[in-house]
Amino acid sequence: MNLKYVLLGMLYFVQGIPYGLQSGLLPVYLRTLGHSFTRISLAKVLYMPWILKVMWAPLVDHYFGKKTWLMLTMSGLALACLGCSLTSPEVSFLPVAGIFLLMNFFASIQDIAVDGVAVQLLVHEEVGYGNTIQVVAYKLGSVMAGGGLLTFLHHLGWGALFVYLAVVYALAIGLTWISDLRVKQRRASMDSYIRASRSNPWRIFRDIIYVPDTPWTAGFVFIYKLGEQGAIAMFPLFLLDHDFSPQKLGFWNGVVSMVFSIAGSSLGGHLIPRQRYLLPRMRVLLTVRFCFLVFQTLLMVLYQDGSSFFEVAAVLSICLQHFVAGLITTLTFSMMMHCSQKARESIQATHYSFLATLEVLGKLVFSTLAGSLVDGLGFVSAFGIFLSLSFLSVMYALPVRG
């Protein structure tokens, strides 16, 4: 395998750990402690550094090297894990929240550096495979830190779990240190542009927006996950309130469903190099996702506790949902990278971070409100809103763009 694929895979794997902890392990853990859906959803505010990362993306683009940023951020993540191993969520959640916020801050900077490396290392024909590695490795890290560790949390204990994660980061730091991480150097002719950009940050924003296809892509990445994100966040908690144990959820929703998600992402990466235009395929996948969400909503209406049929149907709906989500995510990230490669070299990482920030913002804003919708309206009515938002992304992709 190409060594740059191996390196990118390792970096995206460790980058997925904080997301897995907060999306897979933390909500179920907080629910077992008796917290409300509203409070669980509000914990997603800890993702705020991912929204703000576009503010420090130019620093990563213009100062030091990408390898330096990677070493610094992964060292910070290792120390944060060691700090979290000393906390007790049962006693007070505030220290845990502070450390998770810090982890998201370091991970957001790491993301900028890794994306910048990927944008410059991958040629046009490699973007599909590169984004497959990005999505799959990120999800593997998420699965390991979320569903996998949730399954064994009662055996490991909270403190030991985070010590093990610190060891994983230490290994990643060592591999990055010995790697020959080289990306194209900026041309000397860019120096005057960089100096002007520092004195006028709005120039960077203007140049980002003027990159071809950026406005449409920005709108799409902001809305394409809205309905899906609410369903993925809330349906497992619905099952938790209907006789599913945390261990069973950790296995089916955290491990098995991610296998399907990774399979979908891998299939998407396999198809991308054979497709000149990605949007027609995206329209089909968005429609299929909407149909699966209708099935999941009907399942909630008819669900009967203790019924093996409904348990199997619930697990099937989760797996199908994650499979299609994996396909859509890989295609979306490939569209984003194709768009960023149209930008000048000195702002490519910043451009990609801008799009990625909007992608995270769309997911974060709605997933933060999803718990309040469930508490206020009930699961079925809230899922009706998720359906409407999912249909919105289908309509957005219908115009004449190729």
Task: List the one residue out of 225, 235, 215 whose CA is nearest residue 329.
Answer: 225
Distance CA 107, CA 50 (A): 8
Topology given in CATH for the domain delimited by 3-181+189-396: Growth Hormone; Chain: A; (1.20.1250)
17 with 189: CB under 8 angstroms? no
Q: What is the mean pLDDT of each run of 10 residues along the chain (402 residues)?
A: 78 88 79 76 81 79 82 94 87 85 92 81 70 79 75 76 90 85 46 49 78 91 88 87 79 81 80 65 91 92 87 91 89 86 78 84 77 86 91 84 47
Instruction: For the beta carbon of residue 45, count every other beta carbon within 10 angstroms.
Output: 12
What residue type is 255 in one-letter code? V
40 with 30: CB under 8 angstroms? yes
The alpha carbon torsion through 270, 273, 276, 282 (nearest 10 deg) reads 30
**Three-class SS state of 296:** helix
3-state secondary structure labels for all residues of 21-44: HHHHHHHHHHHHCCCCHHHHHHHH
* Residue ranges covered by each domain of the chain: 3-181+189-396
37 with 235: CB under 8 angstroms? no
Six-digit token string for 171: 């290994």
DSSP letter at 399 equals: S
pLDDT attached to residue 150: 67
Burial of residue 197, with CB atoms counted within 10 A of its CB: 0-12 exposed, 13-18 middle, 19 or more buried: buried
pLDDT attached to residue 185: 44
